[in-house]
Amino acid sequence: MAVIYARGFRRLHARMPRRFPWWRCGAFMSGLSVLLIAIASPLAAFDDLLLQVHMTQHMLLMFAAPPLIWLGAPQIPLLRGLPALVARRVVGPLIKSGPLRDGAAFLAQPAVCWIAFSAATWVWHAPGPYQLALRSEGWHEFEHWCFLSSALLFWWPVVQPWPSHPRWPRWAMVPYLLLADVQNTVLSALLTFSGRVIYPYYESVPRLAGITPVNDQIAAGLIMWVPGSLFFLIPAAAIVFNLLSPRKAANYRTPDLRRDWAAPAQMR
């Protein structure tokens, strides 16, 4: 995916350097790097021994990688990076498919995105599903897929990567993010102040550095609580600051959505 994106981005940057500056390429590559760290690094080797490592892995999959990927505005670069024959004969008919477009439009609704993100968070952190994922590699991979896919949906309306069409007004993303932080805080508080081991699986594995299961759980809750909240609060504050910042009438322009949507078609 990195190669395909780089190939398409290089072409787009040459034609539209202001629309596709190099920092977008850096953001996308950073997002892929975070994914590698989450699933193919020592984190993956120790996630079944320490809950705090597992929670760090989940945060990378849900809070860090998806917004970085969307900041790279990957839709058009990935399309342009594909071989022309594949883009024309395989991807083109899929994009034009009515049912597929209707399904994508439904999934892009912010309410659906928020519900999917919250559902994946709570279902997979319930004791039963969580421990099932620890005992089965197949379920563990499916858990990661649920986290990443739901997080990609969640961050889509927040980042609004070009040429996406805003579904809700920009100010609505503030309560959207704050409500997500509330449910993250509730889950974190349950882990931090429970006083008992929520996931008995960790009582049966070797203990590293003498960390008890309860202390491990408290550390996991604090990691999810404090750094996790920043991933919601910082974007919310940035949106508020942007909405309240003074704008000169000469610099203000209402987005021409028809022109923006026509641009990819003209490039093809």
Q: Report whether 134 contacts 140 (CB < 8 A).
A: yes
Q: What is the pLDDT of residue 62?
A: 96
Sorting pLDDT into bands at 50, 70 and 90, what band is 247?
Answer: low
Which tens digits make up the pLDDT trace of 218-231?
999 999 999 999 99
Report whether pLDDT(18) > 60.
yes
Determine the length of the chain: 268
Which tens digits make up the pLDDT trace of 131-153?
999 999 999 999 999 999 999 99
Q: What is the pLDDT of residue 262?
A: 45
d(CA 252, CA 259): 17
Q: Quick one: what percent of the chain has pLDDT higher than 70? A: 92
User: In a 10 Å sphere around its CB, with 0-12 CB exposed, 13-18 middle and 19+ buried, how is residue 80 labelled?
Assistant: buried
Residue 109 main-chain phi, psi, to 5 deg: -65, 130
SS3 label, residue 194: coil
The tokens describing 3, both together, are 């190669």
Compute CA 30 distance to the chain's CA centroid, rounded to the nearest angstrom: 13
Q: Report whether 196 contacts 188 (CB < 8 A).
A: no
CB atoms within 10 A of CB 3: 8
What's the N-to-C CA distance of the chain in angstroms? Answer: 20
Q: Vertex 226, ends 64 and 50: CA angle to 5°? A: 75
Rg (CA), the chain: 21
Q: What is the mean pLDDT of residues 57-73?
A: 96
Query: What are the boundaries of each domain within the chain?
Result: 2-267
pTM given for the model? 0.88
